[in-house]
Amino acid sequence: MRIRVSSIRQHYNYANFYTMTQRLLLVLLIWATILHVSAQDLSYGLQVNDLNTHPMQSLQKPALYETVVDLSFGTTIQRITNAPIGGIIKTMYSTVQAWNTDESLIILYNQAQGVHILLNDNDYSFIRNLVDINPTDLEDLFWHFSDPNLLHYVEKNTGYLT
């Protein structure tokens, strides 16, 4: 009698397993269909594999806050800093986020003056030089992930995380 009961239990477990597997597959199929229908093709209308050469064309340097159209690609470029000839004002590094979490502020680095600058990201107007911070390296500044007014860095002289 015990063998029969365990056989019935074993059969029930297999049936339950297949039923659960079928349900899971059905849910996955429905989910994949919804994703496929609602997904956007962000490359629609773009040439994805452009193998043509695009020689650099001369471009006049626009005045501060003015825009210019790149003749090769038709892209609009806006000048947001007023670096002198030979001077560079740029983002710190490609892996360091220049914008804060709500994209209202941007930090750039003025290489000629050796100072970080803070700009309003709505109109790119200058807010102030960040002379009151002293990170261990010019690239060791990090915006907080959720607080748009909080900036993290390790203080160069003390080693404290600020």
pLDDT digits (tens, 9 = 90+) for 57-97: 888 889 999 999 988 888 899 999 988 888 899 998 888 88
Each domain of the chain, given as residue ranges in start order, spans 1-39, 54-81, 84-162
Per-chain mean pLDDT for the chain:
81
Span 96-101, mean pLDDT? 91
Out of 37-41, 62-66, 108-112, pick the least confident. Answer: 37-41
pLDDT higher than threshold 60 for residue 40: yes
| Model pLDDT, residue 35 | 64
The sheet carrying 126-129 orders its strands as 89-90, 105-110, 115-120, 126-129
CA pair distance 35, 18, nearest whole angstrom: 25
pLDDT band at 9 (very low <50, low <70, confident <90, very high): very low
* pLDDT value of residue 86: 86
The model carries a pTM of: 0.62
Q: Comparing 32 with 106, which gets the higher pLDDT?
A: 106
Q: Quickly list DSSP for 129-141.
A: E-TT--BSSTT-E
